[in-house]
Structure 1
């Protein structure tokens, strides 16, 4: 099999990103605990629990209904009937909605947007980052709930605990690659 130079470079870059993600994962998991304690000490979690959680539950339930999932929702939970006839419930707490991903996005924005790029391209990059992070968080929640529905609580919990973190790091890696490759434009030098 003959690989072109560009495909070899792509494979090498993908392998490099995978290695970096696996190296960063322990730090990322530890930093989530740190951010959680800060939010709890300031009381911000109450607003997240009261406003954002019910909104995201309704949105996720609506999106999952498009895939044929029959769900009942409350202000903090999603419930469905199992194939054995019982009910299964997942509670969505303030810590599940993806606010940590936004904090990590904003941390990366400080270095990612610090270059000599046009203001417009920086604003477009910021907009893509905020909207993309929101959509990725919704997709992540949908996938976690689908795994719970399809495989049960045990595998669903494992999927939730590890997949969420890896998914976030993959998203941010893709986001910055995409931004530097297609969005951010260097300022023109004046002579």
Structure 2
């Protein structure tokens, strides 16, 4: 029987958070895309563009490195990525592209997935692996979008940017938490189990 704080119950709560957040992201995507310019202006008004640039510039560099490693000519200049080809394409990593959505969703799963009875070391491992994996997923998304924009066309790139990326993020988080609960986080120890050990 699963306890209130047991792995099975925690897994269900994490699953609910992932499903609900994914649904919200899917519903908001058309509105965010439509209001992209307005939201970018609001971000600039409050000085958030500097924070976006702080993240976007190293992201652009890393994506260019990844593309060059797999044989696709690319370069970066600030938050811009230029993909070589018959018709070179230059893309800019804006506030809606840096990947904050995935990190917010990851943070929400931490709130319900990490328990006080888990060891600090285990929780730190989960946090670090989750952040690293989410960043890698986001870099892969930007790289794929860049290649699609240069080699296939605008609409396939937009589809991956707006929709497929959310699906991949949900799949990653689901797999990540299955792995974390199976191999990293210790099963919750109930008071009944503690009494059994004391009386043994």
Q: CA RMSD in A?
A: 2.8
Structure 2 partner of 1:144: 145
Quick one: distance in 1 between partners of 2:80 and 2:44? 24
CA distance in 1 between counterparts of 2:78 and 2:44 reads 23
Residue of structure 2 in register with 1:74 after alignment:
77
**1:156 maps to 2:162:** no
Match of 2:106 in 1: 105
Question: Relative contact order, CA 8 A, sep 6+: which one is greater?
Answer: 2
Aligned residues: 167
Instruction: List structure 1 segments (4+ residues) > 6 angstroms apart after TM superposition.
Output: none
CA distance in 1, matches of 2:110, 2:47: 22
Rounded Cα–Cα distance in structure 1 between residues aligned with 2:28 and 2:154: 26
Q: Is residue 43 of structure 1 aligned with residue 46 of structure 2?
A: yes
TM-score where L is the length of structure 1: 0.74
Gap regions ≥5 residues in structure 2: 1-14
Counterpart in 2 of 1:13?
none
Unaligned runs of 5+ in 1: 1-16
CA 1:125–1:31: 2 relative to 1, 3 Å: farther
Between the aligned partners of 2:181 and 2:21, the Cα distance in structure 1 is: 21
- Matched-pair contact (CA < 8 Å) for 2:83–2:147: no
Q: 2:60 aligns with which of 57, 65, 69?
A: 57
TM-score (norm 2): 0.71
Quote the residue 2:26 is aligned against.
29
Partners of 1:70 and 1:133 lie apart in 2 by 25
